[in-house]
Amino acid sequence: MSAQHTDPSEPRRLTDPELIQVHDHAGEEKTDDGGNYQLLPLVLLFLFSGLIFFGGTYLGLFAGHFAPTVHDERGSPMAAVAEVKIDVVAVGKRQYSTTCVGCHQATGLGMAGMFPPLAKSEWVTGSEERLIRVLLHGLSGPVTVDGQQYGSGPTAQAMPAFGPGGAFNWSDDSIAAVLTYIRQEWGNSAPPITAAKVTEVRTKVGAHGAWTAADLEKLP
């Protein structure tokens, strides 16, 4: 506050220097800086896009699919990927519930006179050689499952082929997974079937039409 402004009855007035300051700011206009700035050069834009793309691709390829063992500095990141276990039974269950379920039902009990059961079936828990052939090439004609006859009479149906050349054309892995699943579901308890075993039977037998139960019973 200035020295002249002493009378408390007078309203406070701005003194000269203060006034000037206020005016200065009020009248001020943004000055053009004369184009002293530039847009981001196009070449930098391309450079950074390229780096981001490269980084994304690199991480996608070499990050080891989020496997924790990737941080083992002595291990290879790709070896970590191979360690990620696939739950075969879960895969098989998904295959079953999208495809087989229409005929053999979610209960695995099938339908009287049409579709034989997979629960308590000696075809499911018995010989791998027979079971793999049923899936690869199909089955038709009379078959006895858990003491009941199927595949004869007016309502008889056939089991479709799931191997190459069939309507489904499943991989050996898919066939192995669904077989492993049905061997462990509904109270069934039999060891898993490996994709390698399916491959072995498929290459040994080659192309083949639907089997009959009588054909398969000759096999071990």
133 near ligand HEC (CB under 6 A): no
* Cα angle for residues 158, 164, 204 (degrees, 5° grid): 100
Cα distances (angstroms) measured from residue 156 to each of 102, 114, 116, 153, 159: 15, 5, 10, 6, 10
Which residue of 70, 80, 88, 100 would you call a contact of ligand HEC, by CB under 6 A?
Answer: 100
Q: By beta-carbon distance, which residue lies closest to ligand HEC?
A: 151
- 132 counts as binding ligand HEC under rule CB under 6 A: no
> Is there binding between residue 188 and ligand HEC (CB under 6 A)?
no
d(CA 48, CA 42): 10
Measured distance CA(67)–CA(84) in Å, rounded? 7
Tokens representing 33 are 């800086």
Stretch near ligand HEC under the rule CB under 6 A, chosen from 44-52, 62-70, 95-103, 194-202: 95-103
Minimum CB distance to ligand HEC smaller for 80 or for 119: 119
* Residue owning tokens 């360690």: 83
CA dist., res. 16 & res. 22, Å (int): 10
Q: Which of 151, 163, 176, 180 binds ligand HEC (CB under 6 A)?
A: 151
- Is 124 a binding residue for ligand HEC by CB under 6 A? The answer is yes
Torsional class of 163: left (φ above 0), alpha (ψ -120 to 50), beta (otherwise): beta
User: Is residue 102 a contact point for ligand HEC (CB under 6 A)?
Assistant: yes
Task: Tell me if 75 contacts ligand HEC by CB under 6 A.
Answer: no
140 binds ligand HEC (CB under 6 A): yes
Which among 114, 93, 92 is positioned nearest to 104, based on CA atoms? Answer: 114
Amino acid letter for position 36: N
Q: Residue from 132, 134, 161, 193 that binds ligand HEC (CB under 6 A)?
A: 134
Binding site for ligand HEC (CB under 6 A): 99-100, 102-104, 115-118, 121, 123-124, 131, 134-135, 139-141, 143, 145, 150-151, 157-160, 162, 178, 182
